[in-house]
Amino acid sequence: MKKNFNLDNKIKKNLNIVHVITRPDSGGAEFLVRKLSSYLFKKGFNVTTIYFYNPSKVHLKNYEYCLNLSGPRDLRAIWLIRKRLINLIQKKKTIVHSHLTSVLYFLPIASFGLKTINFYTEHNTYNRRRNFFFLKPIEKYIYSKYNKIICISKGTKQKLHEWLGDKFYKKNILTIPNGSRLFNIINRKKINPKKIRLVSIGSLSNQKGFDIAIRTIFLLKDKIQRYTIIGEGNQKDKLANLALKLGIRHKILLTGYVKNIKPYLANADMGLVPSRWEGFGLVSIEMLSTGLPLICSNVIGLREVVSKCRSVELVRPESPKALARGILKTIKLNENVRKNKIALNARKHSKKFDIKYFCEKYANLYVKTALM
């Protein structure tokens, strides 16, 4: 890939890049925005990252700015973002890069009449808005106000095209796959097929399908020692109650938010990604980078990221029985194939998604846009 580290300082000096997202923590989109902003700042770009609120009181860098609002849907964000953009624009070309639903809707209003170049990243293959057909013309209008729409996978792009249904938008939509942080490979002990340790990472939401995984643990309870779910979300009590109802609460560990996930990955034999839908599946790459074999839902977006990895077993989504079969198949694979070969295959695949390549692609896109 062509690197562009020695960019003309004049281009950088006369270009503002503004990222807008609701908060600095919580999920994959937030993580990537912070990583990309940090990369751009270190490369000498004029970068500003705006958050609506900061519920976890994350320490912000000097190029990060919090509006101190009440939440992601606070309408005051429109006026406050506009004020910030007016101060930034001056005589500089300004790219405003939006992320997630609230910002998608707010930015066209906030930037109305201003000379900004508006980008939006589509982070998922599905959202609840697409359940309401009457929203389609509104969404078409909103998306038309963006100069470029970047999709994190081909599956995300395909689903967006299906929703918008107009060839006009194809001119403005491109795909830049997500990048991921990579951990060091972990030398794990040989799997005990009667004491399997499983791990999942993600928000405790319907999308991530952890209820499906808990039902799978019930089916395989004699073989499972522990299933650890790392993350926060509004389904935490629901998941705990489901495990209690099934009589396997003692096997399920709900850790909540964890800053350092590496010890949990080191103490796992396999990773589960049982998502109902997934735009990319960032955690799958993080887990693979440690050499951990995975069982993943065969859903668009996720499968294009992991399907070519021989250390991943894809299974029918939303099926505890299919997920159980995938776990049993992976146990058998680990008995018949050298453990280090599985780990090395996983590690090799993860390197394709190193976050530095992701950041370079965006930097080149911003510069190319500035030269137009």
Residue 259's pLDDT is 83
Q: Contact, 100 vs 71, CB < 8 A?
A: no
Q: Contact, 111 vs 118, CB < 8 A?
A: yes
Residue 168's pLDDT is 58
Q: Work out the widest C-alpha separation in the chain, in whole angstroms.
A: 67
Report CA torsion sign: 211, 212, 214, 215.
positive
Residue 45's pLDDT is 94
What's the pLDDT band for 257 if we cut at 50, 70, 90?
confident
pLDDT at 5 over 70: no
d(CA 269, CA 78): 47
Q: What is the pLDDT of residues 142-152, one digit of tens each?
A: 999 999 999 99
pLDDT at 269 over 70: yes
d(CA 65, CA 79): 15
What's the pLDDT band for 77 if we cut at 50, 70, 90?
very high
Q: What is the pLDDT of residues 293-330, one digit of tens each?
A: 999 999 999 999 999 999 999 999 999 999 999 999 99
Least confident of 147-151, 262-266, 333-337: 333-337
Residue type, 270: M
Q: What is the pTM of this model?
A: 0.88
Segment 174-197 shows an average pLDDT of 92
Segment 89-115 shows an average pLDDT of 95
The more confidently predicted of residues 98 and 193 is 98
Segment 216-226 shows an average pLDDT of 96
pLDDT at 97 over 80: yes
Q: What is the pLDDT of residues 170-179, one digit of tens each?
A: 668 999 999 9
Bridge partners of residue 294, in order along the sequence: 271, 312
pLDDT at 69 over 50: yes
- For the chain, residues classed under CATH 3.40.50.2000 are 9-179+354-370, 196-353
d(CA 204, CA 233): 4
pLDDT at 28 over 90: no
pLDDT at 165 over 90: no
Q: Which CATH superfamily is domain 196-353 in?
A: Glycogen Phosphorylase B; (3.40.50.2000)
Residue 137's pLDDT is 92
pLDDT at 3 over 60: no
Residue 278's pLDDT is 95
Segment 265-287 shows an average pLDDT of 96
Q: Contact, 64 vs 38, CB < 8 A?
A: no
Segment 92-109 shows an average pLDDT of 96
**How far is the first Cα of the chain from the last one, in angstroms, to the nearest whole number?**
22
What's the pLDDT band for 1 if we cut at 50, 70, 90?
very low
Residue 339's pLDDT is 78
pLDDT at 371 over 90: no
Least confident of 1-5, 176-180, 233-237: 1-5
Q: What is the CATH number of domain 9-179+354-370?
A: 3.40.50.2000
Residue 172's pLDDT is 86
d(CA 261, CA 253): 14
d(CA 81, CA 51): 10
Segment 128-135 shows an average pLDDT of 91
Residue 131's pLDDT is 92
How high is the mean pLDDT of the chain? Answer: 93
Residue 169's pLDDT is 61
